Amino acid sequence: MKTHTTDREADFSLVHVCNAPRSLVFKAFSNADALNEWWGPVETNNSVISLDFRPGGIFHFSMEAGGHVSYGRFLFHQIIPDELLEFTNAFADEKAQVVKPPFDLDFPLEIFYRIVFTEEKGKTTLTLTGYPVDATPEEAAGFRSIRGSMDQGFSATFGQLSRFLEKQGI
């Protein structure tokens, strides 16, 4: 696994609250059927290709919009059930190999994300933080330049998670 070099100026963070116990919220991250229901950009049709939910395992998924298909992957690092999930996220090819992002912007190949799950009175708070891995100054600047879009995208994705949990009768 790579060393995660941090550009503190480029850090990203987001907090989202789900009206569900953290064991159920965490389970939604660890189950392929659940991820098929809620993970990914809201403007794309997302599908789980494979999920190996363990440190060193990979979550490989596709995202389709307007006849164009792109792929993403998580490489899991630390997993503490119901408490912590750490992974690097990257665009990928159909074989889950890391590729350059499909947009015209200097951008890191990988982003390290950490999600901390805390629960109070039956509600789970997800605290997401992220930073570029081994990024050039230009790639770190590209990461910083889309913070607003990332905030909007993750908020929408976690909104899908909340709706998924509601449909489960929670």
Assign residue 80 the CATH number of its domain: 3.30.530.20
| Structural domain contains residue 3 | no
| Structural domain contains residue 140 | yes
Nearest Cα neighbor of 40 from 136, 169, 158 is 158
| Structural domain contains residue 67 | yes
Whether the Cβ atoms of residue 132 and residue 7 lie closer than 8 Å to each other:
yes
Per-residue pLDDT of the chain (170 residues), as tens digits, is 333 344 444 389 999 999 999 999 999 999 999 999 999 999 999 999 999 999 999 999 999 999 999 999 999 999 999 999 999 999 999 999 999 998 899 999 999 999 999 999 999 999 999 999 999 999 999 999 999 999 999 999 999 999 999 998 76
| Structural domain contains residue 2 | no
Residue type, 33: D
87, β-bridge pairs: 76, 113
Pairing verdict, β 84-92 and 110-120: antiparallel
| Structural domain contains residue 1 | no
Q: Which helix (H) or strand (E) holds 18?
A: strand 12-18
Count of structural domains within the chain: 1
Nearest Cα neighbor of 46 from 126, 160, 128 is 160
| Structural domain contains residue 147 | yes
For 102, the token pair is 């499909």
Give residue 112's region: left, alpha or beta (phi > 0; psi -120 to 50).
Answer: beta
| Structural domain contains residue 103 | yes
Name the residue range of residue 115's domain.
8-167
